[in-house]
Amino acid sequence: MIRYGLIGFPINHSFSTGYFAEKFLSEGLTEYRYDLFPMESADGLSALIVANPELRGLNVTIPHKVAVMKFLHNLDPIAEAVGAVNTIDITHTKNKIILKGYNTDVTGFEASLIPLLKHRHKKALVLGTGGASKAVKYVLDKLEIAATFVSRQPVSTDQLSYQEINREIIEAHLLIIQTTPLGKYPDTETYPPIPYRYLTSGHLLFDLNYNPGITKFLSLGLEHGTDVINGLKMLHLQADASWSLWKQSMIECG
């Protein structure tokens, strides 16, 4: 049995198990499986891999996308530039196990965002400063969209607190990207505390969460005529990119 899986906490409601089960079935890979590994701390990564020698790859979700990096042997250049990892390739050699980190969130976010961009989307307000926001920043920088980050506890001069978000800031940033877990099932009534009353039909709201399909954040935007997108397409694209990396690694290892 060859296994892949997801680490993070909590992950009880992840779509990944069913998604990869269908993928393995469609490709006739009857000896493959994908499991969830709830892990409160990234410190448990090494023990997990030792206890499960059949593991060949892991996806990484909140809150471990940054913390896992110190346990990896190699980083893909994009993951290194982003400063966060959401995919780990596990290679077994004669002498040791090698862990290499990638960031396929970049692929998923960029491909999801680009078709929706208009000329007016020159500035973005990014809600949250966790691991997912780092992939968002990488893509926005690549697309030359100026980004302002919002945090509950700003740690640098280029970050704002939620209390600082006013009408002028909302009107100046027509792209607003939600990267926190707020609104994610089962806490569906939570949402980032920004002044939604200043949103207009010229705004685009992107919520990286996908369950429920319309989060409270997106719902509040729709009340003001904004364009909205959730993270489901991004999730599918990053999962496909992860699988492509793992398959390539299998080919290279024979």
Mind telling me the catalytic residues? 65
Sheet holding 146-151, edge to edge: 159-161, 146-151, 123-127, 175-178, 204-207, 227-229
CA torsion 106-111-115-119 (nearest 10°) is 30
The DSSP H or E segment spanning 112 is: helix 105-113
DSSP string, 191-205: -----GGG--TT-EE
DSSP, collapsed to helix, strand or coil, labels residue 173 as: coil
Distance, in Å, from the CA atom of 75 to the CA atom of 66, rounded to the nearest integer, reads 12
For residues 159 and 128, the answer to whether their CB atoms sit within 8 Å is no
Of the candidates 249, 230, 243, the one whose C-alpha atom is nearest the C-alpha of residue 34 is 243
- Cα dist from 48 to 30, 71, 209, 212, whole Å: 23, 12, 27, 30
End-to-end CA distance of the chain: 16
For residues 207 and 229, the answer to whether their CB atoms sit within 8 Å is yes
